[in-house]
Structure 1
């Protein structure tokens, strides 16, 4: 039975293919921009400079200061650069960090953005930005945050290391999984989510086996686009709340944290979403979707333990002034203090067990 729903299409222009980076100057001209600031992370500074050199008469230079979790202090410094250079548009080259900084600037200025993703994160398709201040990560949604144009170039992903390809891709899968049971979900997004999950589930092991497999790279980027579209169209639930809390509190790596948490968050919600689980099992070709996602992480060589990713231990240590004797309990308390909507009620003991298993890298608890 189809339930009543509301579907709002996102207005971004998407260009997908091989060699599409060459269309950046054309898109800048089409938007009428004259002073475009290219945003990247420090390691991508050289590539950002080479991209800006393609439109020298319309470039405001490069800002290669983006970092993980979009700290507000970095955004405030970037705002001064935007003003000093008279930028009238933004061009983000990279993954979630570069695109996140561009989006944070756009939120404050209303400047149009062109996003050129080089990973499978999917942030480029969402009107959402997550910002960190004083160890807390909060998300904001606004139409100004959504990039105006997104250019997907398979060529840019061919050098993405297999390990990063795996975690970036599973991070994208997490967006689609939660879209299947979002409070404001709808049939269109559900179809896109299942298509996206299937594409990435097929492609990621092939990329690890042969990083030069262009067909697999293309399928993964296609899946990532759909996952980002899902995330940009409906709300988030427990999985994203957990990852935002862990990232903000402990500075854990973004994609890797999503990879470690996803099987456990899905297992937690499974009893409350039997219809979704049936469709997800079919898309993954399994009878146990949480375990299949845990095993996918293993197949792509991802770390499945939050402890190995840098989450403080459960006894005897101190991290940033916080006694870690009950780090998991403190994390649960932070989640419960400002929860996202979730199909299953949030219960502290069950959440402690979820995080304890993820901390140790154990398989997800059976539903």
Structure 2
């Protein structure tokens, strides 16, 4: 009986192909919207996490707590942290929000005072030339590495190794030789919000100290060997620095990856809200299913009367129309998921990011859509099942 009802439902869908297509398309659009928005949220969280990690923001920072001490961190503290068994790398954070000048053009920039490659927290991928080395750090050399976006901004090409730029450090412009071009942390952020995120330039932290006259560090960024228990490791690092300075409380270590978790949670909430808004279209599509099914009942009243007169029960008629609503919803859901994933894939390929989807969201979208379709199909199916054979057969 179930198979016969299923065959009849498919046959009835084929009678009004264009109307069935429009109903299925409305469902597919709603599901595709949910899949697209959910996937954008997942991709956004992944991309921002990678960007923050590449900028050294997936680590622990050790700094002086100004509420308890006037001491500052220096080379001795840096050496102490690097010797710690939990620490994979440690680098001072020396950042200057300034400007750079090339070819008579000026742009806002963040000058990162960085260490050599083996101690680097910020991710720099070489494209041309070389990266900063230990000799540059030791000699406080007047050299820098810029990201490819900066090169494109000033020269309309990315290989400008050997050129020079003027950077505002300590109140005056300093001439720095460009020794390397890198694809650096923050490039995606710059491409997306270039007016907000300034250009990045990387130079030896010792060079920044030489021109600013400041030999201390505001913070030291630490990357841990094991990230299983970051908070416990942060407490041990702060205790170690406090013992080194013979004080009980003066230096603190903060797990700044918590900021990343907070941002992930925020993006998750935004994604859920946007997905819920997109899911409203599924309810609208459900109303469309109800409308189509009611029209179908009116068109097939005589057919229903004939079936009942030869022995079809209420349950048989009810099941036939519910299967029809289920089939419309399922086909629309599958088409919507396929279209949504295709759009996500095309968008990722276009902007060059890794594709990421949330299987749970897709499963919930399909289940919700099919459920809505069946629920909205109950009323027309009930109307059809309650028709009296005599009244149905009188219908012209």
TM normalised by structure 1 equals: 0.19
* Greater per-residue strand proportion: 2
TM normalised by structure 2 equals: 0.18
